[in-house]
A and B are shown apart, each in its own frame.
Chain A
Amino acid sequence: MGYRFTAAAFNQLLESLREKYRVYAPTLLKGKGKFSDTDLVGYAEISKIEDVVFNQKSYFSPKETFYPVTQRLFYFNENGFSESVVDEKGMIVFLRACDIQAVERLDKIMLENGPSADYYYERLRNKLKMIVMDCQESFDSCFCVSMGTNKTENYSASVRLENGVYLSDVKEDIEGLFAFHGETIEVSPKFVESNKQSVKVPENLVLESVAANPIWEEYGSRCIACGRCTVVCPSCSCYTMQDIFYDDNPKCGERRRVWASCQIDGFTDMAGGHSFRRNNGERMRFKVMHKIKDFKQRFGVHMCVGCGRCDNACPEYISLAHCIDRLGKEEAENRG
């Protein structure tokens, strides 16, 4: 079912939705860019549709809204523990088709990759409803079409801004509010059919020959292991645990889960001081192989959704898309 909204009508819709949901969307965070007097497009709670940034890609991915950077799991003292309480409200998140595909990747790791689902992920994930933002044109670093992630059917509603009005295709009306505030009209979401760049993912990579490839030495000399590529990635899911004992009363404390990155020192530290992949090039190889080979071997789809955020974020201008292409070319040459 499709609906048309004026800005005022959409804002009334948001107001109604906000009674039971927190609504998150990419917004312009003034002055929050890395450099002085620069802004950043990032996720924040919104109350007005005008605050949603449609014409730029968000720097950070939407995953932080339902998979927080820091999540308190439980509190403990000498007698026992109590689980952290989650917000009663649900979550509605505005995101792109590729981002929704990335949520599906996260679901695979967090819900399907073991004997039981990740409880703390699931309790927030169950609250999530997704509103796909149409992509009317591709951004610079996008390569979703190559990854087959440019489209999705998995959304409650779609939204795009067209000639001053907001058009939504609604698959699952939330509390009937879209129908209540909108004007019925035929709408189908728009997704890009081509990107400015395309990559050909090599499908027959062999770890041993990939590991022997000298490109990792080159990348190792460029990469500074800052972890930005993983932090902005919508499908990276690694985390670590932190047990905190409160300063004033060390018998009480909390366990929290915090994002981790395979690119950053300490990720593979083991008891006895052993650790793997000390070299930055090796770390990058590990990440790239996970994104375009290992994940698919296990789950049938590539982990990388081609959003290109890692390309945008890398301070050393390392491009994952370019790296994938190089691997593909070398594979073709080796076979030829």
Chain B
Amino acid sequence: MAEVLVLVDHVDGQVKKVALELLTAARRIGEPAAVVVGEATDGIKAKLAEYGAEKVYTAPAELDDYVVAPKAELLATLATDRSAAAVLLSATAENKEIAGRTAVKLGSGVLTDVVDITADVVAEHSVFGGAVVTHAKVRTGVPVVAVRPNAIAAEAAPGAAVEEAVSVELSDSAKAARVTERVKQEQGSRPELTEAAVVVSGGRGVGGDDFSVVENLADSLGGAVGASRAAVDSGWYPNAFQVGQTGRTVSPNLYIALGISGAIQHRAGMQTSKTIVAVNKDPEAPLLEISDFAVVGDLHKVAPQLTEEINKRK
């Protein structure tokens, strides 16, 4: 069976959940081969084995000293050398870029923001803000596919996870854009936004930089906190938490929107959430049209009552 390369997202020695989802998808197509850039800790390798990685290719962390191009060189080289059946990545902004460059190198095609994928690499997309569902495939070469986190449920299945270190001789042009500094904003102890099963987001309706009404509800559900652009632009919550077209795309089991009108750019980032709940004082807010359950009222009354009720029922 041909190998299916999976670029593994990991942070602080932990595999991100989306990598396990990708391994699950890869098993439909062929033999999953994980690609880890940076240190593959025992913890990482164990997780990859648990979710079916037959191989674990490891590459030096230096690839991350430059923007995108080195990882594309790595993936393209591996895909060619191992005659891979497909290359799968998570559909983050950076990984979509890696996917694009990898496909150019392979002379193949790229599909991004995929929500499902079949054994013969036909990919499902949800486009135009969720209004249209398309199926698409790559016609030439090794398909490169970026899959949305939380779209495919991860299922465990043992794999051999045979480790193999790979070295890449980076071209000069791959080293053209150097990362000279990394600035991280505090994430706190909440789950990562795109990985979380529950996301509670606050918008302009929160009314100020005291986001505790949103945070408390998120914490009662073990969820992540998100924000609309209006809230981020007002300086009430950090940029990294913006949900939407130009923020993060989330697809949790439960999305709760507090004081968010539901502009198309916001919906673009959360429309594929499985269940949507909204609290808004305006019965005409567009978000109510796509909500499964909505309360028309003041979020500062409704959300604390909900939080209290959840904590009571635990």
- A associates with B: no
